[in-house]
């Protein structure tokens, strides 16, 4: 499925055959470009960046690399190839043919899911807009911009669905996507994690590791949808999302490697004195980003999630690999609860615990990366292990929102929490320390002192290639 780049809006959905929709998207396009110029990467309009652009969505290859002047990147609408005779895999409509139109009875719920997902995409761009000023290398700067343009394209993907299938309501929602802004006190983004500031590159790598991993699981669940256009859209978005997580994981690994090098060289764990980032600080950043991402999955017990599943709108991660009836009407799971300041569990219908299942899959996937981080530390014979905090830690949604917990899952009182909070989460002093290390490095092949070079360059190019050209 090749993409037509000769049209105003590149696409592989035959947009030129639907003049009404084309006009609606052409009306929205200038507003998007204005948003990008105002709230996208700061003062980068004349940069030429070595970017990957989708030219096909076929499995054999879909990317073309070249220097592109920002913001002339060709955003567009790309859906994965349709699966022949695809049937719904779960819920009340299991076994029926997938829908090519929105069922009237599920219109509101489906729109809400698309809007919530769509709102996260421009939010992350806004959160990261100033990071170019403190990039640790040209290699990393290019990766930041690649993530940014793809998040912008993911917004286009959701806006296409809204405008193509939801009429006036969809057009209004598409406009609202550009009127909400990350951290805006009057009109913030829908999900709280996407209102947090991302002022330093340690936070950026944590964001692309944890928040984009949440995106992977949310998109995977939506890719199971009975609504075929949403499913196909999300399947292609997942292809791009994999790079974002790669940026996060390898970025953290390179920081850890450099920290370990400095620890061995200077025989101290306080490498911040030598321009590095202490392992203890890295742990605090993990604690923060992981805990706020758990909130993105919603409450452990959720009638909304149960309804979305029964309706066939949003499934589980890799639904077809789960060995059950895919109806869940008679299935039960253990749900955590607080009882006498202890974490217990109780049996609850699996249908209402869909969010918990998705969150648990996310945790397993996150832990695999932590294991790789720890193998680096072990290779330097350093007796420290990075860990994911307990699900009860630092939570604002669900079972644990009204309790205080240590990272190990011990329920504590507010006094103890306030006394020890800065041992577990980044303090203002920690943020200032990390920010003090964020000094821009843009000489080809050079790296900031707090991060190790990558093992290889991009698309077979050397590490010292000029990935970004400044004009």
What's the full length of the chain, in residues?
A: 471
Residue 5 lies in a domain: no
Residue 377 lies in a domain: yes
How much is the pLDDT for 54? 84
Whether pLDDT at 61 is above 70: no
Angstrom distances, CA of residue 456 to CA of 195, 198, 207 = 33, 26, 22
Structural domain total, the chain: 1
Lowest mean pLDDT across 59-63, 218-222, 334-338: 59-63
* Average confidence (pLDDT) over 335-362: 96
Whether pLDDT at 59 is above 80: no
Contact 290, 252 (CB under 8 A): no
C-beta neighbour count of 257 within 10 angstroms: 18
Who's near 378: CB < 8 A, 6+ residues apart? Answer: none
Q: Given pLDDT bands bounded at 50, 70 and 90, which one contains residue 57?
A: confident
Contact 121, 151 (CB under 8 A): yes
Residue 350 lies in a domain: yes
Residue 427 lies in a domain: yes
The whole-model pTM stands at 0.96
Q: Given pLDDT bands bounded at 50, 70 and 90, which one contains residue 457?
A: very high
CA–CA dist 142, 331 (Å, integer): 47
How much is the pLDDT for 278? 98
Note the pLDDT tens digit of each residue in 183-200.
999 999 999 999 988 999
Contact 259, 282 (CB under 8 A): yes
Whether pLDDT at 239 is above 70: yes
The rounded mean pLDDT for the chain is 96
Residue 418 lies in a domain: yes
Whether pLDDT at 60 is above 90: no
Whether pLDDT at 448 is above 90: yes
* Average confidence (pLDDT) over 255-283: 97
Whether pLDDT at 319 is above 90: yes
How much is the pLDDT for 247? 98
Residue 277 lies in a domain: yes
Name the residue range of residue 401's domain.
15-469
CATH number of the CATH domain containing 77:
1.10.620.20
CA–CA dist 233, 394 (Å, integer): 33
Residue 4 lies in a domain: no
How much is the pLDDT for 66? 94
Residue 2 lies in a domain: no
How much is the pLDDT for 38? 95
* Average confidence (pLDDT) over 113-127: 97
Hey, what are 173's tokens? 């929602």
How much is the pLDDT for 308? 98
CA–CA dist 286, 284 (Å, integer): 5
In degrees and rounded to multiples of 5, residue 376 shows phi and psi of: -65, -45
Give Rg (Cα) of the chain.
23
In the DSSP assignment, the letter for residue 25 is H
How much is the pLDDT for 1? 66
Could you please report the per-residue DSSP string of 147-197? HHHHHHHHHHHHHHHHHHHSHHHHHHHHHHHTT--TT-SSS--SSGGGGS-
Note the pLDDT tens digit of each residue in 5-24.
778 899 999 999 999 999 99
């Amino acid at each position: 499925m090749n993409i037509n780049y000769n049209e105003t809006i590149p696409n592989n959905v035959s947009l030129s055959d639907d003049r009404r929709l084309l006009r609606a998207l052409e009306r929205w396009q200038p507003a998007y470009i204005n948003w990008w110029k105002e709230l996208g990467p700061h003062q980068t309009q004349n940069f030429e960046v070595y970017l990957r652009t989708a030219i096909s969505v076929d499995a054999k290859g879909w990317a073309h690399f070249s220097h592109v002047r920002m913001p002339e990147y060709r955003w567009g609408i790309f859906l994965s190839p349709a699966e022949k005779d695809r049937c719904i895999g779960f819920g009340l409509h299991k076994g029926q043919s997938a829908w090519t139109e929105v069922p009237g009875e599920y219109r509101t719920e489906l729109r809400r899911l698309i809007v919530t997902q769509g709102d996260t995409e421009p939010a992350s761009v806004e959160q990261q807009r100033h990071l170019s000023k403190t990039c640790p290398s040209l290699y990393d700067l290019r990766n930041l911009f690649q993530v940014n343009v793809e998040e912008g394209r993911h917004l286009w993907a959701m806006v296409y669905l809204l405008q193509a299938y939801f009429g006036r309501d969809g057009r209004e929602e598409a406009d609202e996507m550009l009127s909400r802004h990350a951290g805006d006190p009057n009109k913030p983004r829908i999900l709280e994690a996407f209102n947090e500031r991302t002022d330093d590159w340690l936070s950026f790598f944590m964001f692309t590791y944890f928040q984009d991993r949440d995106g992977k699981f949310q998109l995977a669940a939506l890719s199971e949808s009975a609504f075929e256009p949403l499913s196909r859209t999300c399947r292609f978005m997942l292809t791009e999302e994999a790079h974002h997580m790669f940026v996060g994981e390898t970025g953290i690994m390179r920081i850890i490697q450099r920290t370990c090098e400095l620890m061995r060289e200077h025989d101290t764990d306080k490498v911040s004195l030598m321009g590095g980032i202490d392992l203890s600080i890295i742990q605090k950043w993990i604690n923060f980003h992981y805990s706020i991402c758990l909130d993105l999955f919603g409450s452990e017990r959720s009638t909304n999630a149960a309804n979305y599943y029964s309706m066939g709108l949003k499934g589980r991660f890799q639904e077809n690999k789960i060995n059950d009836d895919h109806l869940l009407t008679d299935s039960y799971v253990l749900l955590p609860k607080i009882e006498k300041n202890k974490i217990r569990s109780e049996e609850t219908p699996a249908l209402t615990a869909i969010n918990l299942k998705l969150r648990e899959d996310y945790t397993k996937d996150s832990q695999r990366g932590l294991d790789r981080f720890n193998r680096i530390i072990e290779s330097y014979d350093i007796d420290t292990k990075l860990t994911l905090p307990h699900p009860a830690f630092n939570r604002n949604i669900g079972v644990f929102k009204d309790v205080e917990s240590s990272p190990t899952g011990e329920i504590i009182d507010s006094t103890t929490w306030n006394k020890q909070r800065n041992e577990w989460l980044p303090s203002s002093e920690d943020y200032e320390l990390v920010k003090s290390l964020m000094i821009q490095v843009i000489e080809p092949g050079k790296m900031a002192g707090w991060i190790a070079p990558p093992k290889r360059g991009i698309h077979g190019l050397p590490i010292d290639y000029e990935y970004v050209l400044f004009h």
